Amino acid sequence: MPQVFGVIMAGGVGSRFWPKSRERTPKQLLEIFGSGSMIQNTITRIQPLVPHANTFIVTNALQYDAVVNQLPSVPKENILTEPVGRNTAPCIGLAASWIERIDPDAIMVVLPADHLIKDEKEFLRILNIAVQVADQSEGLLTIGIQPSRPETGYGYIQFSDEETNNPYREQGVYRVKTFAEKPNQETAERFLESGDFLWNSGMFVWKVKTILKEIELHLPDLHAELRSLQPTIGTPRYESALEHSYGVLRGISVDYGVMEKAGNVFVVKGDFGWNDVGSWDEVVRLTDADESGNTARGKVILRDSKNNYIDAGTKIVATIGVDNVIVVVTDDAVLVCGKSKSQDVKEIVDYIRRKQMNEYL
């Protein structure tokens, strides 16, 4: 079996988690559930499969110091910084170029830094299956989550249940028929009823040489920049070469740029208590409430109030006659938002950015 490397995508700013998530301390660097930040828990979770020495983090310059401080067991040279975010395809391609120099036959396990996974034993079992199939098939694998509701906030993967031309069917591995963007409510309900759609988790497994070959085929401009960049890795020329490459690259997701166009694509069906924790509403969904439906963190006084989520930070928050709201308090900002509206918090962050109120970002 080839070496297995982990690539943790950790460059996002988590704008839907404002005001707690900021550019220098985004969601993945926060303790949202229990002990340990989300990125720390991600690294710990995969350690039985991926040693720290084989773990690469892709982040940005603003977050680099915090990532280094939180992950002292990961070699500093494995923490890669992008000059500017260009979505997941360049991020993955950059990490693949680094790993290719170490072991061109290696297998990459690509994971976001900010997901919640409750059943870690089952998660590792699914990852091991994906690694084995990636090695044997030289295909592209993604992890699909068994849906539990008609969710409109996730992308979907349609799979084929046919056994023809699929020697991995008995392991819960299926050929991908199509990828679907985030649907409306009616479409999400239809996806759920059909039984052949899974949530797209954004987790991938493949050989390094396989993904680089597919990038060459479907994203030739990205491949050309990666080829020109690779000889500079580990040399004084690397930083300037990286700046140049990212200056000309276009942002594109690996789903749209590669996965939707490639031929040999599989999905492993997983059910291990996954959540991408994409908004405050998801935190509410995953947090225990009292008999009135309230969740209170910190010094909170509730009177005639129900079905609220209140995170008071270091302040005292009192509510009277308030229902179905999310309140999040930090030292310099307060968010008050109706439940089911927290996806729109990103618009507040965009407004703050347009107004150049950078001290609140």
In which residue are the tokens 């920049």 written?
Answer: 225
Q: What pLDDT does 293 receive?
A: 96
Start-to-end C-alpha separation, the chain: 45
**273's tokens:** 């208590």
Q: What pLDDT does 169 receive?
A: 93
CATH of the domain at 147: 3.90.550.10
Same domain, 232 and 124: yes
Note down pLDDT in tens along the chain; length 361 residues.
Answer: 799 999 999 988 889 999 999 998 999 999 988 789 999 999 999 999 999 999 999 999 999 999 999 999 999 999 999 999 999 999 999 999 999 999 999 999 999 999 999 999 999 999 999 999 999 999 999 999 999 999 988 999 999 988 778 999 999 999 999 999 999 999 999 999 999 999 999 999 999 999 999 999 999 999 999 999 999 999 999 999 999 999 999 999 999 999 999 999 999 999 999 999 989 999 999 999 999 999 999 999 999 999 999 999 999 999 999 999 999 999 999 999 999 899 899 999 999 999 999 999 9
Asked whether the beta carbons of 337 and 346 are under 8 A apart, the reply is no
Same domain, 304 and 270: no
> What SS3 string covers the chain?
CCCEEEEEECCCCCHHHCCCCCCCCCHHHCCCCCCCCHHHHHHHHHCCCCCHHHEEEEEEHHHHHHHHHHCCCCCHHHEEEECCCCCHHHHHHHHHHHHHHHCCCCEEEEEECCCEECCHHHHHHHHHHHHHHHHHHCCEEEEEECCCCCCCCCCEEEEECCCCCCCCHHHCEEEEEEEECCCCHHHHHHHHHHCCEEEEEEEEEEEHHHHHHHHHHHCHHHHHHHHHHHHHCCCCCHHHHHHHHHHHCCCCCHHHHHHCCCCCEEEEEECCCEECCCCHHHHHHHCCCCCCCCEEEEEEEEECCECCEEEEEEEEEEEECCECEEEEECCCCEEEEECCCHHHHHHHHHHHHHCCCHHHC
Same domain, 329 and 207: no
Number of domains comprising the chain: 2
How many CB atoms sit inside 10 A of residue 72's CB?
Answer: 9
Same domain, 66 and 191: yes
Domain that holds residue 109: 4-275
- Tell which of 275, 301, 318 closes a domain: 275
Q: What pLDDT does 164 receive?
A: 77
Same domain, 237 and 298: no
309 beta partners: 295, 326
Q: How far apart are CA 211 and CA 98, in angstroms?
A: 13
Same domain, 173 and 285: no
Same domain, 184 and 231: yes
Helix axes 220-229, 238-248, angle to 10 degrees: 170
Q: What pLDDT does 278 receive?
A: 87
Same domain, 237 and 319: no
Q: What pLDDT does 339 receive?
A: 93
- Tell which of 249, 275, 301 closes a domain: 275
Same domain, 317 and 267: no
Same domain, 261 and 290: no
Q: What pLDDT does 165 receive?
A: 83
Q: What pLDDT does 153 receive?
A: 86
- Tell which of 275, 303, 319 closes a domain: 275
253-266 pLDDT, tens digit per residue, is: 999 999 999 999 99
| Strand 265-270 versus strand 274-275 pairing type | unpaired
Same domain, 175 and 291: no
Asked if the peptide bond before residue 19 counts as cis, ω within 30 degrees of 0, the response is yes
Same domain, 75 and 176: yes
135-186 pLDDT, tens digit per residue, is: 999 999 999 999 999 998 899 999 998 877 899 999 999 999 999 999 999 9
Q: pTM value?
A: 0.93
Q: How far apart are CA 199 and CA 182, in angstroms?
A: 10
